[in-house]
Structure 1
């Protein structure tokens, strides 16, 4: 089992990495999956825009792009790209701390890897409910 954090074209220091990894692992297990290998790549808006354009043909800024690399249905393997600039901006907009918004987006990516979607209103509502549920379980 591996959870890795990388910075790409930004400088950010994550707090409580060990607790963050435990929280992510516990979330995956509670959803009924085995965590094999997840990489979080923290980056700028521009870096993520390039990823969005190159791989998804979307020409829009976003806070997250998730790639599911799992080969077995019960295992989680993926790469989660997160724009730190976007999460900081959204934290101000939603009046929450930058860490809380970053954690929400991280768990959002994990939930995508667990099979949750957010395109339709009812899917988005369930996703938000799950995000709130797991955010409340953070012990840090």
Structure 2
């Protein structure tokens, strides 16, 4: 497969994954604000379905990212400090992804312990990390 196709698919899967990671905590905000049990049940369904919808995209983004690294080779990987930093930040994003799953499970069991304000912060916090990842991938400053 041509490297441009690999890059395009990697970018597509990252974008779809990020869309879900930005939207899921927003649903948590509304869920935490609601006092209506029927609304809670609807949010539980939305949260579970969204997490399971975007998780394959996280996996496919990883597959195509590893494919890109393999395409460029081990020598390129060793020489690319920017990529090492990007991969470190990416580990944090995957950790965030699975932390959101823990929260989905907490809501599903009616054991939410956080305020809507917490979820607003959680919704906005990864923006800085993702900005760093994009900056590193495009500018390659190191």
* Higher percent of residues as strand: 1
Q: Structure 1 length as normaliser, TM-score?
A: 0.27
Q: Structure 2 length as normaliser, TM-score?
A: 0.27
* Higher percent of residues as helix: 2
User: Which protein is bigger by CA-based radius of gyration?
Assistant: 2
